[in-house]
């Protein structure tokens, strides 16, 4: 019996026994498979795959993906430093950030690639590095996310330089002798090939205005199917329309642009699972709900609370044997009414019970699809709960600890008592 896509019941029980709960488990085989799938993205004139490390920035994962040939997309100067500390050479790291790092000069001098995301960032870079090349992030006026919180293109998004301000970009570049060699756009996490084609062409329209551009970076994730009833993106279908657009551009403009993509969730989402323990089972009477309380929650998986995101949930009994099924709401350990793992789809205010075997203290609950934007985006240390450990399930079946469980001493080490 399989508890989630990559964990058997026996493995869940072994994790619970050997590492305690809660614990995040990542599957090496899934990471390798997804990385190779991304590296096979159709392209016309060359491809660079940059892993969007904000999805899951653990050093062991960065090293593994780098060993498979992936470069890194960093969203802050701190992520750059984290990647370098994990052993990623600076020249494999690209920085595209809302906040300009205070140590930008040191990072650029070390060899990272930089995309200016605003006119102010562009001018600051020009003052520090006149006469050099860089990338610019353009908001093409359209996005592809499945909701406003995952759509980072279009008029409601602050990301990038609005496309009608390209003349100002050119003026600033001329003032500092800058050459724009990369146009970067980021459209969100959608899966519609028609939208991707339109965004690619809008991005190429922007690239056509920069004579030195050699690379088009189409940032934005590929929609991942976490739930059985969801349909994930077909990267080959999307890649084919993008490839056609690049070929059309080459024929019209005489320039063969290298393509860059920035998958995050596509690589790691379904390679991760949160194993939690059942710490209580309560109900609110015959007309109410049954609740499974687990020893994890928004401190580990925040997406349901803010997006109404859906994750597969499996109850793994501590012992074998048949049990009746009931409808349960699964809730976290935080003193917060929003710490619910079973919201209605797309509605964090709504509730949607799951049908699960009868829960008992000591059982395990496995939250699937927890590889992306879970440990990286959780409410760490809320209610002073420690950060969960992380374990890598190796392809040979070994379980390797890659992050220790946080202690109270770790949590408080930078506090000063007066």
Q: Is 24 exposed, middle or buried (0-12, 13-18, 19+ CB in 10 A)?
A: buried
For residue 179, the model assigns a pLDDT of 98
Domains of the chain: 9-25+269-412 (2.40.37.10), 28-265 (3.20.20.10)
Neighbouring C-beta atoms of residue 238, cutoff 10 Å: 26
Taking phi over 0 as left and psi of -120 to 50 as alpha, with beta for the rest, 402 belongs to alpha
pLDDT in tens, 226-255: 998 888 888 899 999 999 999 999 999 999
Tokens 């690049």 sit on residue: 246
Q: Which residues are catalytic?
A: 335
For residue 108, the model assigns a pLDDT of 98
* Residue 146 C-alpha from the chain's centroid: 15
pLDDT at 406 over 90: yes
Average pLDDT, the chain: 94
Cα dihedral angle (356, 358, 360, 364), rounded to 10 degrees?
A: -30
pLDDT at 28 over 60: yes
Q: How sure is the predictor about 156, in pLDDT bands with cuts at 50, 70 and 90? A: confident
Cβ contact 282:291 at 8 Å = yes
CA distance 274 to 8: 13
């Amino acid at each position: 019996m399989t508890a989630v896509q990559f964990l058997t019941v026996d493995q869940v029980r072994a994790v619970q026994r050997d590492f305690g709960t809660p614990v995040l488990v990542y599957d090496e085989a899934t990471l390798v498979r997804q990385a190779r799938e991304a590296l096979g993205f159709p392209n016309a004139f060359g491809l660079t795959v940059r892993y969007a490390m904000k999805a899951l920035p653990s050093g062991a994962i960065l090293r593994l993906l780098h060993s498979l040939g992936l470069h890194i997309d960093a969203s802050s100067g701190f992520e750059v430093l984290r990647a370098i500390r994990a052993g990623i050479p600076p020249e494999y790291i690209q920085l595209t950030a809302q906040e300009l790092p205070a140590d930008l000069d040191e990072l650029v001098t070390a060899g990272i690639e930089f995309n200016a995301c605003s006119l102010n960032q562009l001018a600051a870079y020009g003052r520090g590095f006149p006469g050099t090349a860089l990338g610019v992030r353009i908001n093409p006026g359209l996005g592809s996310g499945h909701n406003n919180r995952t759509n980072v293109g279009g008029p409601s998004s602050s990301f990038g330089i609005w496309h009608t301000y390209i003349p100002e970009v050119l003026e600033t570049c001329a003032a500092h002798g800058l050459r724009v060699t990369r146009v970067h756009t980021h459209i969100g996490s959608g899966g519609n090939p028609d939208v991707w084609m339109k965004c690619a062409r809008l991005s190429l329209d922007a690239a056509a205005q920069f004579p030195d551009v050699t690379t088009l970076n189409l940032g934005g994730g590929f929609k991942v199917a976490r739930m059985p009833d969801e349909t994930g993106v077909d990267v080959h279908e999307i890649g084919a329309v993008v490839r056609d657009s690049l070929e059309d551009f080459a024929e019209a403009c005489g320039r063969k642009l290298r393509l860059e993509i920035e998958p995050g969730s596509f690589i790691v989402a379904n390679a991760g699972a949160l194993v939690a323990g059942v710490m209580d089972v309560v109900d609110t009477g015959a007309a109410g709900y049954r609740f499974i309380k687990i020893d994890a929650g928004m401190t580990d998986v925040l997406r349901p609370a803010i997006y109404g995101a859906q994750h597969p949930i499996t109850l793994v009994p501590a012992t074998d044997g048949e049990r009746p099924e009931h409808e349960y709401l699964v809730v976290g350990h935080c003193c917060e009414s929003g710490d619910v793992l079973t919201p209605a789809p797309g509605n964090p205010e709504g509730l949607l019970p799951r049908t699960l075997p009868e829960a008992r203290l000591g059982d395990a609950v496995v939250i699937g699809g927890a590889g992306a934007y879970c440990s990286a985006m959780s409410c760490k240390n809320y209610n002073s709960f420690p950060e969960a450990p992380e374990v890598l399930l190796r392809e040979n079946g070994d379980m390797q600890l890659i992050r220790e469980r946080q202690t109270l001493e770790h949590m408080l080490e930078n506090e000063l008592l007066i």
